[in-house]
Amino acid sequence: MKTVLFTQHMLGFGGIDRVACFLVNGFVQAGYTVHYVIACDGGPGSEALQPIIDDEVKLTFLSDGQTNRSADLARNLMGFVRAIRRAQPDSVVSTCNNMNWITALAVKISGVDTKLVLKTTNPIISSADGRTLAAIRKYFYRRAFVFADAVLPLSHAEAVLLSQQFPDAALKFQPVINPYVTNDMIAKPAEQIRDATSKIILGVGRFEPQKRLDLLIQSFALIKDKHARLVILGDGPQRDQCERLCRELGVEHRVDLLGFVDNVASWYHKADVFVLTSIYEGLPAVVFEALGANCPVITTDCFLAAKEILGQAKCCHVADTPSPGAIAAMIDDCLNEQRPNNLTRIAQAYSVENGIKSHVEAISKAMA
């Protein structure tokens, strides 16, 4: 029986965290011995996610609590090294960008003869990086990619870009399907769920600079339907700032900031349109969760595969210009169009089953 060890920073509320849990469970079901080594216990999603992890997964937390990501990973480096030496895995898999170089370093220090697989879950170099930071990122990622046995981007478009950015590792980039969509996310009859009294525009994400939820609120303030409501699920450091913005724009009575909720899937079914306003993303789970509920999607051009996935989908739009006016106009168009009934077909390609199968094949190939 092959052994695979997965690494992660903590259990949060994001799509990356849910995907990692789906993967460790899927590899157990595929007959692997699975170690899941997480730097910090007590992450914001621990209470929700830890119970769904299969009992057969050998779960290890290296420390209690978090400070900041870089400090957490640095102080737990030798913990990862010891975990790899104890498990003697056939493969070590980093679950996301921020784990890649620390996982590569831990494998190198451990001296264990194992195959290193890295996942890229966000752009390596984002538009928010300055020239110096971009150069530093590129240097460390190049070393990690060259050392790795396989690198798993989340789309063919990302694999092409990475091959151009890191030509000496070009043969290692193998696109995979991420396991996003569960059976309970797939659309139910709309008339049983949606409220016909007012339109609902939905946003999901942490209140942090990357997600630009301020842009979503500004766009909502400009739409024509003044009876529509904006619902945002999530929390974070910029929540107070966004609450002030709602008051400044005079929309506070039509905006519901609900924080973290247990059943996000039900809100996709209730919503008339889901809007993503991020600056950058890898391949955002929220897009496929919305499509799985047959909910139209409007997004900024924040991930490489946006137009490839949504370009031909009815009622779905990609905003090349992320301005409040442009996004508001797209919301207006979407609310006035007849809701499509075939968006679930796009989401089903990214089912948990398909995603696990894709990862098992890619990691098995690396171990061969």
User: Would you give per-residue pLDDT tens digits along the chain (368 residues)?
Assistant: 899 999 999 998 778 898 999 999 999 999 999 999 999 987 777 888 889 999 999 999 999 877 777 888 889 999 999 999 999 999 999 999 989 999 999 999 999 999 999 999 888 876 666 788 888 888 999 999 999 999 999 999 899 999 999 999 999 999 999 998 888 777 565 444 556 678 999 999 999 999 999 999 999 999 999 999 999 999 999 999 999 999 999 999 999 999 988 788 889 989 999 999 999 898 898 999 999 999 999 999 999 889 888 987 888 999 998 999 999 999 999 999 888 888 988 998 899 999 999 999 999 999 98
Instruction: Name which of 285, 234, 233, 274 is nearest 23 in CA terms.
Output: 285
Domains of the chain: 3-179+352-367 (3.40.50.2000), 183-348 (3.40.50.2000)
* pTM of the predicted protein model: 0.85
Q: What is the pLDDT of residues 294-310, one digit of tens each?
A: 999 999 999 988 988 89
Query: Residue 103 CA to chain centroid, in angstroms?
Result: 19
